[in-house]
């Protein structure tokens, strides 16, 4: 495609006898229900010859084209060149791009270009899909891109407008509503430091209310189980926790079949083992500094839950995820399916709503917003 001969624009224009102003084109398009905004009104010149159209296209002043092979707005304008050939016989219909078979890029587009569109199946009146080829080239005639089999689907004006109205309900926007400020009082604060002091004082009360001391002790015990699950995962994959042994991290990652997307998680797990005095990381190597055994955690977890019923959600999630850590790291098991089995959010919901730790945090946030 890079060796394609340059288009002789002046010679090409001679074949196009019908001239349509850009304003007339966009008025006709608007009549069928398509309202192009300013930056998408890229066609500045338009020429028609039978089943072919030639358009001069320019980017809007506020469009930055440097980061693209061709800016989406310019590419859309080139598609509009094909649309211009379908307006006369389809006054009550719109044509929507629904597919492209191939697109070839030869060079980067600047802010100005030309587009040549040719309808491939003009005589197929029964087809609801019109196919067109589009050639995009620079003002000097150098090939920029070729679009093969752009597919434009025919829809009635009513269908298009109805769909456009329906899409509006898919999006949300922020609407600010004016509210009267509460009367000033001794507890009314405005500065960030004042808000923090106020929230901290309320958080201390929330900590006592939610028995966070016992909760923290339970979490500390649960963290030990998490370390055991890391160890079990590595042992299951052939890793030996024997004091004095050393491994290269890259080799270890390969031997454990760590999926690329979990490489950072793998490094974090190694860091956790180091923080707990099991290994030491030296450059690209790790050394085992503590013998440790692996084994089932089921009975110990049941005992932890019995003694810490407030940790039910946390223990449930750890029990579901911990034994599958090896399968997750290798990419064989979807981690989200473990957290939300069959789309069930109930455990996660209980964690964020009812867990003593999150209850205290939620109260602190409530206090901060209230003031």
- For 270-313, the pLDDT digits (tens) are 999 999 999 999 999 999 998 877 777 778 888 888 888 888 88
Q: Is the pLDDT of residue 228 over 70?
A: yes
Run of H or E residues at 20: strand 18-21
> In sequence order, which residues have a C-beta less than 8 Å from that of residue 281 and are 6 or more positions away?
249, 270, 271, 274
Distance CA 65, CA 362 (A): 46
CB-based burial of residue 362 (10 Å sphere; 0-12 exposed, 13-18 middle, 19+ buried)?
middle
Q: Is the pLDDT of residue 65 over 70?
A: no
| Region 140-152 average pLDDT | 92
Instruction: Report CA torsion sign: 172, 176, 177, 179.
Output: positive
| Region 61-89 average pLDDT | 83
Distance CA 205, CA 364 (A): 10
Instruction: Report domain extents, the chain.
Output: 9-162, 192-370
- pLDDT, position 354: 80
- pLDDT, position 291: 80
- pLDDT, position 164: 57
Distance CA 60, CA 65 (A): 10
% of the chain beyond a pLDDT of 70: 79
How does the average pLDDT of the chain come out, rounded?
82
pLDDT in tens, 233-276: 888 877 888 888 888 999 888 888 899 889 999 999 999 999 99
In this structure, the number of other CB atoms found within 10 A of the CB of residue 74 comes to: 27
Measured in whole angstroms, the distance separating CA 270 from the mean position of its chain's CA atoms is 29
Distance CA 76, CA 254 (A): 45
pLDDT in tens, 187-223: 555 556 666 666 666 555 555 555 577 778 888 888 8
- pLDDT, position 232: 87
What crossing angle do the helices spanning 346-354 and 356-370 adopt, rounded to 10°? 60
pLDDT in tens, 101-133: 999 999 888 889 999 999 987 766 566 788 999
- pLDDT, position 371: 52
| Total H helices, total E strands in the chain | 14, 10
Tokens 């599958």 label which residue? 324
> In sequence order, which residues have a C-beta less than 8 Å from that of residue 168 and are 6 or more positions away?
none
DSSP, collapsed to helix, strand or coil, labels residue 143 as: strand
Q: How confident is the model at residue 56 (pLDDT cuts 50, 70, 90)?
A: very high
Q: Is the pLDDT of residue 158 over 90?
A: no
Q: How many CA atoms lie within 13 A of 367 on its CB side?
A: 20
- pLDDT, position 339: 87
Run of H or E residues at 153: strand 143-156
- More confident call, 346 vs 90: 346
Give the CA angle between residues 21, 22, 27 to the nearest 5°: 100
- pLDDT, position 59: 83
CB-based burial of residue 293 (10 Å sphere; 0-12 exposed, 13-18 middle, 19+ buried)?
exposed
In this structure, the number of other CB atoms found within 10 A of the CB of residue 368 comes to: 15
Helices (H), the chain: 9-13, 22-31, 72-83, 157-168, 192-209, 212-236, 249-255, 263-275, 298-307, 312-321, 325-329, 335-339, 346-354, 356-370
Q: Is the pLDDT of residue 82 over 90?
A: yes
Which CATH entry fits the domain spanning 9-162: 3.90.1110.10, 3.10.129.120, 3.90.1150.10, 3.40.50.1820? 3.10.129.120
- pLDDT, position 157: 66
% of the chain beyond a pLDDT of 90: 23
């Amino acid at each position: 495609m890079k060796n394609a001969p340059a288009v002789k624009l002046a010679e090409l224009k001679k074949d196009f006898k019908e001239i349509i102003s850009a304003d007339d084109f966009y008025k006709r398009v608007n009549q069928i229900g398509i309202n192009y905004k300013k930056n998408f009104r890229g066609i500045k010149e338009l020429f028609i010859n039978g089943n072919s159209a030639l358009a001069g296209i320019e980017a809007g002043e506020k469009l930055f084209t440097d980061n693209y092979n061709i800016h989406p707005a310019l590419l859309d304008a080139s598609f509009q060149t094909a649309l211009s050939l379908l307006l006369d016989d389809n006054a009550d219909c719109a044509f929507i791009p629904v597919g492209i078979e191939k697109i070839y890029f030869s060079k980067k587009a600047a802010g100005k270009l030309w587009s040549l569109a040719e309808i491939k199946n003009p005589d197929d009146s029964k087809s609801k899909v019109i196919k067109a080829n589009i050639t995009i080239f620079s003002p000097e005639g150098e090939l920029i891109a070729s679009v093969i089999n752009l597919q434009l689907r025919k829809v009635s004006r009513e269908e298009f407008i109805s769909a456009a109205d329906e899409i509006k309900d898919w999006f949300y926007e922020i609407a600010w509503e004016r509210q009267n400020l509460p009367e000033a009082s001794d507890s009314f604060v405005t500065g960030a430091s004042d808000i923090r002091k106020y929230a901290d004082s309320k958080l201390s009360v929330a900590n006592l209310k939610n028995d966070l001391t016992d909760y923290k002790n339970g979490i500390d015990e649960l963290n030990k189980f998490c370390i055991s699950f890391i160890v079990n995962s590595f042992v299951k994959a052939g890793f030996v926790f024997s004091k004095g042994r050393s491994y290269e991290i890259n080799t270890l990652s390969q031997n454990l079949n760590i999926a690329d997307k979990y490489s950072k998680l793998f490094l974090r797990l190694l860091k956790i083992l180091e923080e707990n005095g099991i290994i030491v990381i030296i450059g690209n190597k790790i050394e085992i500094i503590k013998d440790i055994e692996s084994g089932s955690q089921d009975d110990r977890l049941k005992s932890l839950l019995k003694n810490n019923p407030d940790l039910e959600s946390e223990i449930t999630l750890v029990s579901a995820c911990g034994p599958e850590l090896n399968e997750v790291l290798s990419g064989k098991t979807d981690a989200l399916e473990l957290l939300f089995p069959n789309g069930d959010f109930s455990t996660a919901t209980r964690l964020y709503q009812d867990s003593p730790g999150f209850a205290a945090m939620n109260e602190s946030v409530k206090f901060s917003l209230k003031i």
